[in-house]
Structure 1
């Protein structure tokens, strides 16, 4: 790999930096999404459609706990990027040490609580009827590996903050490939069913963590922490928590969304409707990989240049990130609109699921070409350390718009009301984010902004 230091984030061409940062991020997200997608295909074909619904029920719990690691990773990485931009290596090291300590404390506690309340959580998240038992089997084995996953998610974001996206990409590819191989071995060859699916996922987390540990112990990392860095520093912890809470809140809302969707759809159409949502959810993770990759690549560029007072470069990175995300979103939109039936047929041969999913998927993806504005806009405020606007903008789509819509519209339109809630929420949240971001650009990121003081 070509030698690259964090200083390059403040000097190289924005277009080249975005491609350099976004391409590995996109590939990593693609492989991770393919892993989830193929995992669902394997489970659906080798175990059954009920197993797909069972995994979907478990996702909110494991996502939320794993999100602790992601939240700590992104919150701390914002500090690290700005500290490196300001040439404050000591602050960057202390932040990284605090990230590790907090991740372990929180995730282990959450795993214990998750196991204690297992019989209450699964039904609450839609694991009812025939779904309960396979969901419980999968839930228990996956939960044991969540602290390792949280550490991996945290470490991956720190690697990006150092400006090393290729290593972050590899860290995402390893567990994805590992999970698929282990799925084949545990489910198909050894016939271990849902337990095998869970075991494959957990072992893949361990493989990911092993690689990330190698990175930070090798010469590739600029962060050489000592034991003293693990001691909690309250000012850093406060800022990291405020910024990380943005990500945690977003993931918490995702978990709440899964809870509502699984229960609403179960009441409307039973297990098959839950399976329809499971397939659409997987496609949302998979198909949006290039847009999410641009967002991930944008974060360290914006954070570093903001910390270095290079505001014109920040403005340029915003404009180009939105442009790239919009173009990629348009390709995703066309793909989903043209091939929905072919996509669904890969997952299952269940006649009702095959009939209902294509139309629902087309509706859900209707506003994809414009969501880059919402993603980049909320990511910008998180990158520069402005927690409150980042939090509010992050919550607009699912928290402020989608959840109220999905609680109201099905009462009038039935199951179709669930699906039309997605594009309506996308459009409304994009408008709100666009207004905030435009005001920020025109008032803060003006050409002669070098004299401005960073909040």
Structure 2
């Protein structure tokens, strides 16, 4: 048995979860940071047009989420199969799955580039782009589309790396791409000249010296170019990792030949995260169009865009815990060690709930200050702070939901995973976003978020309780 497989089988759950989750959490936080950096730099570079620039990126982001969702569906589904195959001692099948993950990514990225380029403008309008927002969103998304293959490869293959218990390499991939993005962002976004850091000086209460930068002055387009180059760097690092022989999985050309059984199972398991991210994009379509009616247009759309980025700092650490959890659950489920499955899930729920509560406190106390990092527009800051305090009311419940849904992905139960992933967005949030504004106007839009989180928590609790009863019976041999 490979050394990392021994750790998954025998290491104490607390130590193992920390070893696998800590790198993933650091990586996810850095990913959240560089998504925010894009928005901050664009907001500062565009000055009086910052609202439209931020809104443009916010409109484009859901389309990026669909692209990422497809990559995650392939990667997470494949990772679940690889973890279980390694737990069963079936190395050949694990390597077959890895090859099929790569071939599926290549096929889907080509399809996305072609279809996205043809239908980009109608898509952006569907997502709520107004005439003032559309030029910024188009400029940003055109570049992202043509580099989407790098996005998809890095996301999918990072999950393959995690499936064998090598969380540090997955973290290094995200750290490298994030560092490259943060370095390149100001170079491509700002024009040559002195950059004033007044927004930082206001927050720090001190003077921040201006910096002379030889920049390209590409604005929103520059942010997209920096993002793509960063993802390409991460993809190259992953190629080196697999080519160097450091992985317990071996790449073989014959495994690139698509196999229907592997592709079907991988995508079926991955439908949960695909549904969650795709339904998030559907939420944005509905929400942005509702905001155009009840929120007055660009400002309300920009508020939602900024809040989404602030939420990342709470959600990304939770997803980091989940990424550390999944290979533990998948391997031990395959090895029929059900007590370790339940122990790891319980511990993960405690940790993610603690993270959710911490995020709730920060967003409750400092929303205005956090909005001020993105823009100096006082209307955006004031309205955004009020909206944030409403939207986070049920945030402490979200940690349980995240772990509950990931349990079903890890053990290969596609239907409940898909159902839980869909429930918050489609079953609860979209109907509430449509109904509540009729009674509470714009406030009703923000109220839909805590209500949907509460209902989704109750549903997840019932399903997880049922699954634990099944696992207990299996553990007792009954």
TM-score category, normalised to shorter length: over 0.9
User: Equivalent residue of 2:132, what SS?
Assistant: helix
* 1:227 equivalent in alignment to 2:253: yes
Residue ranges of structure 1 left out of the alignment (5+ in a row): none
Contact 1:66 1:153 in 2 (8 A): yes
Aligned equivalent of 1:144, options 134, 143, 146: 146
Contact 1:179 1:201 in 2 (8 A): yes
- Residue 76 of structure 2 corresponds to 74
- Residue 199 of structure 1 corresponds to 225
- Residue 15 of structure 1 corresponds to 14
Deviations 1:247-302 (A, max 9, x none): 21111101111112222112222101111001001011123222221111111111
* 1:40 equivalent in alignment to 2:66: no
CA distance in 2, matches of 1:84, 1:277: 42
CA distance in 2, matches of 1:376, 1:194: 35
- Report deviation, 1:381: 0.7
Aligned equivalent of 2:58, options 42, 49, 56: 56
TM-score, scaled to structure 2: 0.92
Contact 2:112 2:145 in 1 (8 A): no
User: Equivalent residue of 2:321, what SS?
Assistant: helix
- Report deviation, 1:333: 1.1
- Report deviation, 1:61: 1.4
CA distance in 2, matches of 1:146, 1:6: 33
Aligned equivalent of 1:291, options 313, 318, 337: 318
TM-score, scaled to structure 1: 0.96
* 1:215 equivalent in alignment to 2:241: yes
- Report deviation, 1:451: 4.0
- Report deviation, 1:6: 2.5
User: Equivalent residue of 2:393, what SS?
Assistant: coil
Contact 1:40 1:52 in 2 (8 A): yes
- Residue 340 of structure 2 corresponds to 313
CA distance in 2, matches of 1:313, 1:361: 38
- Residue 30 of structure 1 corresponds to 29
* 1:251 equivalent in alignment to 2:250: no
Contact 1:68 1:107 in 2 (8 A): no
Deviations 1:323-343 (A, max 9, x none): 111112111111111111111
- Residue 115 of structure 1 corresponds to 117
- Residue 162 of structure 1 corresponds to 164
Contact 1:43 1:52 in 2 (8 A): yes
CA distance in 1, matches of 2:261, 2:170: 28
- Residue 412 of structure 2 corresponds to 385
Deviations 1:20-75 (A, max 9, x none): 11111110110000101121111111122211100111111122122211110000
Aligned equivalent of 2:425, options 383, 398, 406: 398
* 1:360 equivalent in alignment to 2:387: yes
- Report deviation, 1:4: 5.3
User: Equivalent residue of 2:246, what SS?
Assistant: coil
User: Equivalent residue of 1:5, what SS?
Assistant: helix
- Residue 349 of structure 1 corresponds to 376
- Residue 417 of structure 1 corresponds to 444
User: Equivalent residue of 1:419, what SS?
Assistant: helix
Q: Which deviates the most, 345-354 or 58-67? A: 58-67
- Report deviation, 1:162: 0.8
Q: 1:273 to 1:97 in 2, by over 3 A?
A: same
CA distance in 1, matches of 2:237, 2:249: 16
CA distance in 1, matches of 2:472, 2:99: 32
CA distance in 1, matches of 2:175, 2:446: 31
Q: 1:374 to 1:201 in 2, by over 3 A?
A: same
Residue ranges of structure 2 left out of the alignment (5+ in a row): 191-214
* 1:441 equivalent in alignment to 2:468: yes
Q: Provide the alpha-carbon RMSD of the alignment.
A: 1.3
- Residue 335 of structure 1 corresponds to 362
- Which consecutive aligned stretches of 4+ in structure 1 deviate over 4 angstroms post-superposition? none
